[in-house]
Amino acid sequence: MYQTTNHPGIVSATGGVCAAKGFTAAGVCASIKPSNTTKRDLALMYSEVLCDAAAVYTQNKVKGAPILVDRLHLENGKAQAVIANSGNANTCNADGVEKANAMCKLASDVLGVAEEDVLVASTGVIGQILPIEPIEANIGKVASLLSKQGATDAAEAIMTTDTVKKEAAYTFTLGGKTCTIGGMAKGSGMIHPNMATMLCFLTTDAAVDHTVLQKALSDVVDDTFNMVSVDGDTSTNDTCLLMASGLAGNEPITEACGEAYETFKTALGVLLTTLSRGIAADGEGASKLLECVVEGAKTVKDAKILAKSVICSTLFKCAMFGKDANWGRILCAIGYAPADFDLEGVAVSLASKRGKVDVCAHGAGVPFSEETAADILEEDEIQILVQLADGDASAVAWGCDMTYDYVQINGDYRT
């Protein structure tokens, strides 16, 4: 488990996806959706040098055209730029790959880099033809605005139903060299553990071989983004891209082992935990961030399954919206999960900034004050603490409550 605090040597920084040396970004309104005349919906990210790169994609069998293109472009583990749009997912379209390639070509021409070194991503409505004309008309504008200060505009340009931008950055030290890792993500609905549950773009100036980047990214995503669920729907366009410029000047990390690798992986884990919590907290219509911590499990796999089962339970999510300490729904959720545990060893507590209340011990209810529990559940961040007696494995999952607004948002998403 990665925490966002108490990691010696890993310090919060500013600048998001542009915090690391060599990276610039920008975002503009291209009116990709005809109804959009003000919101930024076209983002561009650029590295002054060719980067080692890695990616993780959705496990949905229906995949957006950008993923098919990115897989080809990343066969050599290199990339230098990313172009992304919101408002249209470019998925399930006969000309999808053609349009994704066209976006790469537009970025390639304006930046003067090889087309195969450009990665592409799209998010929005599925099954509608992506208009390339607005992107053609605005590629020069977005490229002219590339700067170290452009991270926030780019983060806004990839948002769909998100209500807040999600970006973060951290510094750490490798071999006496100060390194930086930063990134931005979008995700609010159609969020469920199956990688990567959203779009995410990560940059670092640490020198890391692309094979090592891939190992670190895949492992950390499994403990972070794959532990987030808003509504149980896995997107068709989930993509997480990581680029390393190497401009920090550290001795290149060429093996997935050793102190330098573990330091880099921990920094990546802290960053992705921050972004994961941001995505869960901004779930469509959400009023509460839910964090389920399972400890004492027989295996890490079991702990992950149980934690995700709790935060995926629609009944429990509704109870949290209503500030109802209905702990029976927690036991129900772990009970139908495909994991082993001894019921008599299960204890459950609910906690927030207002305090903690024990609601279950030895697999059965214990007396507690409903008024105290309701007060604890007033907060916008709630912890569900599940203690088992089967081993020493643990896991954390993040989700959100289910509100009336979720139905409203998704009832008229296309209109």
Residues annotated as catalytic are 197
Q: Which two tokens stand for residue 8?
A: 């010696």
Residue 237 to residue 334: CA distance in whole angstroms: 29
Q: Which helix (H) or strand (E) holds 355?
A: strand 355-361
Specify the amino acid at residue 105.
K
Q: Which two tokens stand for residue 150?
A: 């452009």
Phi, psi dihedral angles at 374 (to 5 degrees) = -65, -35
Contacts of residue 358, defined as CB under 8 A and 6 or more positions apart, other chains included, come to 347, 348, 349, 366, 368
Residue 95 to residue 325: CA distance in whole angstroms: 50
Specify the amino acid at residue 385.
L
Give the relative orientation of helices 133-144 and 96-111 as an angle to the nearest 10 degrees: 30
Q: Could you write out the DSSP letters of every residue in 118-142?
A: EEEEEEEETTSPPPSHHHHHHHHHH
Residue 406 zone, left/alpha/beta (φ > 0; ψ -120 to 50; rest): alpha
Residue 31 to residue 368: CA distance in whole angstroms: 54
Opening angle at CA 182, ends 394 and 45, nearest 5: 135
Residue 2 to residue 224: CA distance in whole angstroms: 8
In the chain, count H helices and then E strands.
Answer: 11, 15
> What are the residues facing 178 on neighbouring strands?
173
341 close to 334: Cβ distance less than 8 angstroms:
yes
Q: Shortest CA distance to 90 belongs to which of 56, 57, 48, 132?
A: 132
For tokens 């102190």, name the residue: 259
Specify the amino acid at residue 165.
K
